Amino acid sequence: MKKVLLQLDTDQHPSPFDAIVAEDAGVDVLLSHGSVTPEAVRGLVQGAFFTRAPDDLSSMAVWVGGSDVATGEKLLDQVQAAYFGPFRVSTMLDSNGCNTTAATTIALIAKDRDLRGRRAVILGVGPVGLRSATLLAQEGCEVLATTIPADVLGTDSYRRPRGLAVAERLGIDAREVADRAEMEAALEGGNIVLAAGPAGVQVLGREVWTANPTVELLADYNATEPLGIEGVDAGDDFVEREGKLVLGALAVGGQKMKVHKACVRRLFERNDLVLNADGVYAVAKEIV
C-alpha cells in the first residue's frame, strides 16, 4: 500500500525542503497544500483517511509546516480534532523547522554530557528557544530564557513577545529584559548559552561571552550573517574557542536532516503518533 503524506503548510508555497525530505524518506505519494488555515484542516485530513480502512491507516500521515509556528500549532490541534473512532493518522509538526532544529541541537549538547544541575541561559523566547528550554530542563538543567530587547533587535517598535505567555504555560522561567545590559547580566553563572534570536541579528558580542568565567558551551541557532554570537563560525562543530565549546547553526544541519528523515519514517510505523517537541527529541536522542 502506497505511503501517503499530506503536507499542510501555512505558507503560500508549501515548503520544498519539507517536500523533498519527505520524498527522500520514502513517501510514495506527497500531497502538498499551501495557505492552509485551521478551518481547512478537518476536510483535508478526513478526506485523506476515508480512502483507507482503519487497519491501513499507518500508510498515511500528516505533516504540518510553514514559517508560522503559532498557526502550525493550531493546524496540529485541528488535525487531532479531525480524528474519530478508529480513524487517526500519525502527525508531525515542524513549522519553521522548530522541532527538528531544537531537538537535534539539544540532543547533540546532551550527548556524552551530564547536564544535570547545569545552568542554561537561552536568549530568545521564540518557538526554537522555548523548545530548547523545555528539552534542557528535561535533561536536568536549571533553565532561564530571556527576551531579545529592542536595542539588540535594533528596533523602535518593541512588542512584548508572545513567547512569554507560552513560557509561563510550559513552566519555563522566562524573563523580559529591558535592554542589552540586562540581557547580558542574565548570563551570570550560566554554563550553557543558546542564541535563539531572529535570523541575522547578533545577540551576543564576543567580549561578553569570552569574559564570562562560567560559560562552557555556546550554541547559535542563527545561520544568517551576522550570526547570533560574534566570533563563532556557523560551521563550528563543537570547536573550542577562547576555552569554550562552540556549536554553529550549520554544523547541526546534517544531523538535523537525519532526524527529520527518521521522524518521517516513524510516522508510517503506526497511525497514532504525534511528533511535536518531545516526540522529535526522542528520535533525535536515538539518531545523533
Position 137 contacts its own copies (CB under 8 A): no
Which one of 208, 257, 274, 282 is in contact with its own copies (CB under 8 A)?
A: 257
Interface residues for its own copies in 47-66 (CB under 8 A)?
A: 47-48, 50-51, 60
Does 199 bind its own copies (CB under 8 A)? Our answer is no
Sole window of 29-37, 172-180, 202-210, 269-277 interacting with its own copies (rule: CB under 8 A): 29-37
| Rounded distance between C-alpha atoms, residue 212 and residue 83, angstroms | 51
> CB of 117: closest distance to its own copies in angstroms?
36
State the minimum distance, in angstroms, from the CB of residue 99 to its own copies. 17
13 binds its own copies (CB under 8 A): yes
Whole-number Å distance between alpha carbons of 91 and 279: 11
Give CA 61 to chain center in angstroms: 20
Nearer to its own copies, 36 or 141 (CB): 36
Size of the site for its own copies (CB under 8 A): 32
- Compute the least distance from the CB of residue 15 to its own copies, in Å: 6
CA dihedral sign, ordered 144, 145, 146, 152: positive
Q: Site for its own copies (CB under 8 A): which residue of 16, 117, 154, 243?
A: 16
Q: What is the dihedral of CA 78, 81, 85, 88, to 10 degrees?
A: 30
Is residue 223 within 8 A of residue 199, CB to CB? The reply is yes
CB of 251 to its own copies, least distance (A): 14
For residues 202 and 73, give the distance between their C-alpha atoms in angstroms, rounded to a whole number: 28
String marking each residue 73-112 x if it binds its own copies according to CB under 8 A: ----------------------------------------
Name the one range near its own copies by CB under 8 A: 2-10, 119-127, 152-160, 199-207.
2-10
* Euclidean distance between CA atoms 236 and 22, whole angstroms: 28
How far apart CA 262 and CA 94 sit, in angstroms, is: 13
Q: Which of 9, 10, 36, 166 lies at the binding interface for its own copies (CB under 8 A)?
A: 36
C-alpha cell at 113: 554530557
Q: At its nearest, how many Å lie between its own copies and the CB of residue 84?
A: 10
Residue 187 one-letter amino acid:
L
Secondary structure in 3-state letters for 112-166? CCCCCCCEEEEECCCHHHHHHHHHHHHCCCEEEEECCCHHHHCCCCCCCCCHHHH
Does position 44 bind its own copies by CB under 8 A?
yes
Binding residue for its own copies, selected from 161, 205, 231, 253, defined by CB under 8 A: 253
- Binder to its own copies among 9, 10, 32, 255 (CB under 8 A)? 32
Question: Is residue 40 close enough to count as binding its own copies by CB under 8 A?
Answer: yes
- Residue 258 binds to its own copies (criterion: CB under 8 A): no
Query: Which positions lie near its own copies, rule CB under 8 A?
Result: 2, 4, 6, 12-13, 15-17, 19-21, 23-24, 28-33, 35-36, 40, 43-45, 47-48, 50-51, 60, 253, 257
